[in-house]
Each structure stands twice: as C-alpha cells, then as structure tokens.
Amino acid sequence: AQKVTQAQTEISVVEKEDVTLDCVYETRDTTYYLFWYKQPPSGELVFLIRRNSFDEQNEISGRYSWNFQKSTSSFNFTITASQVVDSAVYFCALTQGAQKLVFGQGTRLTINP
Amino acid sequence: ETGVTQTPRHLVMGMTNKKSLKCEQHLGHNAMYWYKQSAKKPLELMFVYSLEERVENNSVPSRFSPECPNSSHLFLHLHTLQPEDSALYLCASSHGLAGGSEETQYFGPGTRLLVL
C-alpha cells in the first residue's frame, strides 16, 4: 500500500535561514504523482506543486524548490531565505489510485523573526 | 467568491444535535471530497463524489451522511456525533472528468467542529 513519511514533526528556524522538509514515499505503482500542500493557521490546504513519477527534474519557484529522487523515493522541499509568512504545516501527498491521495503526517514549520 | 468555500467555519454541537456542513466550489470541477483532520493524525479521506455520484465511502460511520445535489455543492449531514468526531473537516474539489490520479485537489478552509 502507498505510504508517505514526513519524519520531521516540527522544525524551527530563524528568519532568512534555508530549511528543507523531507518526504519519503512508498508505492508499487509505476505511474504516480506527488504533491506538496501548505496549511497555514487558517486551516486551508494550499496547493504548492504536483510532480509525476516520470519527471525527475528539480523545480524552482521563487524561494521554493523541490528535489525529486526516485532512487531514494524522496521528494524534498526547500525554502530559501525563509520568512515568517512561511510558518505553517506542510504536507507531502502521494496518489493512491484514481482520485485518492495519501498524506504524510505533516511537518510544522516555525520561522522566528 | 473564488475557489472552494465552506460554511460554517466553526461549529459546536451536542451529541444529540443534527447539523450540516456545506461546501461550494467555484472552479467548474466535477469531483468533490470530504476529509477529516484530527489532531496528530494524517488527513483521512471520508467520501468522494464524481459527477454527483458517490464513488468512495471510506468506512465512515453512518452518523456522517454526505449529499451532493450538483457538481458545485457538497454537504455533510451530522447526527448523534461523538466527542471523538471533533476535528477539522475539509472539503476539496478536482476536475474529475478523467478520473485520473494526476488530478490536483483544491481545498477549502475547513469547518472546525467541536462535539460536546
């Protein structure tokens, strides 16, 4: 069965530091999709990125970057020059069949001024 | 309104009450979802609707009853809940036509439910 592990329960850094959130997944599917979502204190899950299993290119979007490595079944997320507004819970998710997502436990990120 | 909206944002109810949660999506999507998020647990998928038909019921107790009258609206009717049902209930939607695993789900802000 599919499984997503976010081993870091909580991370706390000082503003402007770089921080990496780890995500390790398990699946027997050859085609799958990985996602990252951000959940600020307001509660809404905000979609950040979707990556398919055939595309191992790293992606950068502003201060955010993602490193997908199939060899280690990891899809890590790095925030460069963190800001207080980045404080949130971040979830990694993996598709399980059609229209189903399996979520990790989430990593609570706190950026201190 | 844009995106996915949910009402109410907060709800307190007794175990004998009946209440309903409402979700509305303004994205032209055809699939809608209910999730439960409890403290210290991963998000749990409860129900999936595609083109107004329920396609997934993830072993949810019958005290939770979903309703999807059209592709834009989704309700979760609650009755005789237990204190352990207290959680954040999140609604999501996706395109849904292809039914493929590549679809991105977009979430609403959630309803924080407290059962006394």
Half-sphere exposure of B2 (CA within 13 A, CB side): 0
pLDDT band at A58 (very low <50, low <70, confident <90, very high): confident
- Is the pLDDT at A23 greater than 80, yes or no? yes
Higher pLDDT, A58 or B73: B73
Half-sphere exposure of A79 (CA within 13 A, CB side): 24
pLDDT band at B1 (very low <50, low <70, confident <90, very high): low
Strand partners, A102: A94
Please name the helix (run of DSSP H) or strand (run of DSSP E) that holds residue A47, with its range, or none. Answer: strand A46-52
Express each pLDDT in B59-107 by its tens digit: 899 999 999 999 999 999 999 999 999 999 999 999 876 556 668 999 9
* Cβ-Cβ contacts under 8 Å for B41 (sequence gap 6 or more): A105
DSSP class of residue B34? E
CB-based contact, B22 to chain A, within 8 Å: no
* Amino acid A73: pLDDT: 96
Tokens for A109, please give them. Answer: 């990120």
Proportion of chain A above pLDDT 70, given as a percent: 100
In angstroms, what is the C-alpha Rg of chain A?
A: 14
Contact A30, A47 (CB under 8 A): no
Instruction: Flag if A91 and B43 touch (Cβ within 8 Å).
Output: yes
Q: Which of A35, A36, A39 is nearest to A109 (CA)?
A: A39
A79-99: average pLDDT: 92
* Amino acid B100: pLDDT: 62
Q: Which of A45, A98, A100 sits opposite B90 (nearest CB)?
A: A45
CB-based contact, B108 to chain A, within 8 Å: yes
Q: Which of A71, A110, A98, A12 is nearest to B100 (CA)?
A: A98
Provide the residue count of chain A. 113
Distance CA B109, CA B29 (A): 17
- Is the pLDDT at A11 greater than 70, yes or no? yes
- Is the pLDDT at B44 greater than 60, yes or no? yes
Partner A, chain B 77-106, Cβ-Cβ below 8 Å: 88, 90, 92, 94, 96, 99-106
Q: Which of A33, A42, A46 sits opposite B101 (nearest CB)?
A: A33
Instruction: Flag if B55 and A99 touch (Cβ within 8 Å).
Output: yes
Strand partners, B65: B77
B1-8: average pLDDT: 89
